[in-house]
Structure 1
Amino acid sequence: MNSPTSHHRPLRIGVWGAGNVARALAGAWTRAGHSVAVSSRSRTPAVDLAQSLGPGVSVGSFAEVTRGVDAVVVALPWAAVDSVLDEVVSRDPESPDAESSSDDLAGVTIIDPTNPVVHAVGSHLLPTGSAADHIASRIPAAHVVKAFNVYPAPTWADVPDGVVVPIAGDDARALALTSRLVGDVGATAHVLGPLDRARQIEELAGAVIGLAFAGTDPRSAVPGLG
């Protein structure tokens, strides 16, 4: 496994979700010295995750873990993304999260590891664009970066040497921050291009999923370039 590369100040990271992706990334980033807060629709899964990862991980609502952070990770099933965005960017004065709005995410890096694909098949669910494009349209003041969606979640808990994470985004600082966090799990980031390349990364993940569920090692479908 590669060594983490945290050599700047620790980052504050909010994680929407408490499933396998959240567990693997939050654990790796906590070990790298970052401050991580996790959230879930029901509080119990987030509490259980935080307790299993140790004192460096805190728990809050989706809105609470969003405030005052350097980055937010959308570690959610694709079907849950819009409902969480509705909650986090609410401007309804009657809402318990009314103080949370898109303004809270201004300038924040949003890391999107979601895959909007058919389970076990891999075909893309969106007729055009990408999940990352959709998230960016909902919170235009933030900087969305596509990352961490091609490899299965357990990879990020113990990354083998040589793992490259393709990422895409429009903001140079957000890409640099995401690249740092990729390094902190023990992998290497490769900037594929601007956010309009995100669908290509999602389609890549879909192909990997389709091959794997069909019983084919996805690596056997990629030609060597040596």
Structure 2
Amino acid sequence: MGSLPFAARVASAATDKLKIGVIGSGRIGGTLGGLWVKAGHEVMFSSLDLEHDKALAAKLGRNARAGTPREAAAFGELLLIAVPYSALPGIGKDLGTLIRGKVVIDPSNPIVARDGEIAKWAREKGAGLASAELLPGARIVRAFNAIGYARMAVAHQQSERIGMPMASDDAKAVAVASRLVREIGYEPVLIGGLAMGKHLIPGTPLAGEHTPERIRQIAATLN
């Protein structure tokens, strides 16, 4: 389905939709969740501002709804957790039983200036392995980490296919996440397991937009 135009991908997805819970409906979560709504999936948005989420859902239409983070975690077959990295420990603690066993797309980046000591720890450990420790039992796919949200919104309009580097230890989770990546206009490129997630943060060679072939070339030089 990756070679189909956006309208065709939307039509195809409508017959095989997922329930997606978005925890953190800011720029990244709101953008990706909105694109998945347009692709035919049911999406529940959540954050610390329920009124914001209700307004977002109303704008997006009947496949969108709003709830609390706990409700979104229970609703989603797949979860997108797009929050400041310092919020991940609390999410893992408060929602752990609801997250365990589910595919979790992890775009959250450890930013030292914003997140403090936990960001330093995550960068030393590697963001992929750190997220797995903070969200125990989640089937994590690290993706959407170093491309701006505004570019994500128009990926399906690009004439040249742009790659989306991903890292995960779970092949089935990668397959589900890859479908969602393709539906919004990117070509998924698995660069390795969660240990390679340390390279999926801003400021690394894989940051920014690259063709799938270039991502593979860059990834081959990393360890």
TM-score, scaled relative to structure 1 = 0.77
* Runs of 5+ unmatched residues, structure 1: 90-100, 212-216
Q: Give the CA deviation at 1:41.
A: 1.3
Aligned partners of 1:207, 1:32: CA distance in 2, in Å? 30
Corresponding position of 1:109: 103
Query: What is aligned with 1:195?
Result: 194
User: Contact (CA 8 Å) 1:144, 1:174: kept in 2 or not?
Assistant: yes
CA shift for structure 1 position 71: 0.9
Secondary structure at the residue paired with 1:197? helix
Q: Is the 8 A contact 2:92 2:136 kept in 1?
A: no
**Moved segments of 4+, more than 4 Å:** 5-8
Cα distance per residue 1:129-173 (max 9 Å; x no partner): 233322312333220010011110112211123211000101111
Tell me the residue number matched to 2:77: 70
Letter in 2 for 1:166: P
Deviation of 1:66 after TM superposition, in Å, equals 0.9
Within the alignment, does 1:206 sit opposite 2:200 as a pair?
no
Unpaired segments of 5 or more residues in structure 2?
218-223
Partner Cα distance (1:36, 1:140) in 2: 23
CA distance in 2, matches of 1:128, 1:148: 20
Corresponding residue SS for 1:52: helix
Equivalents in 1 of 2:111, 2:24: separation in Å?
Answer: 18
More helix by share: 2
Structure 1 counterpart of 2:57, from 46, 50, 56: 50
Change (3 A) 1:142 1:84: closer
Equivalent residue in structure 2 for 1:151, among 138, 144, 147: 147
Tell me how far 1:208 sits from its aligned partner. Answer: 7.4
Tell me: higher relative CO, structure 1 or 2? Use CA pairs within 8 A at least 6 residues apart: 1
CA distance in 2, matches of 1:177, 1:113: 16
Aligned equivalent of 2:184: 185
C-alpha distance 38-208 of structure 1, shift in aligned 2 (>3 A) = farther
Alignment of 1:152-167 (within 5 A): 152-159=148-155, 160=158, 161-167=160-166
CA distance, structure 1, for counterparts of residue 78 and residue 50 of structure 2: 21
8 Å CA contact 1:109, 1:142 repeated in 2? yes
Distance 1:45 1:80 in 2: 19
In structure 2, do the counterparts of structure 1 residues 132 and 164 end up closer, same or farther at CA, with 3 Å as the change threshold?
same
Structure 1's 139 and 127: CA in aligned 2 closer, same or farther, altered over 3 A? closer
CA spacing shift, 1:127–1:32, aligned 2, 3 Å: closer
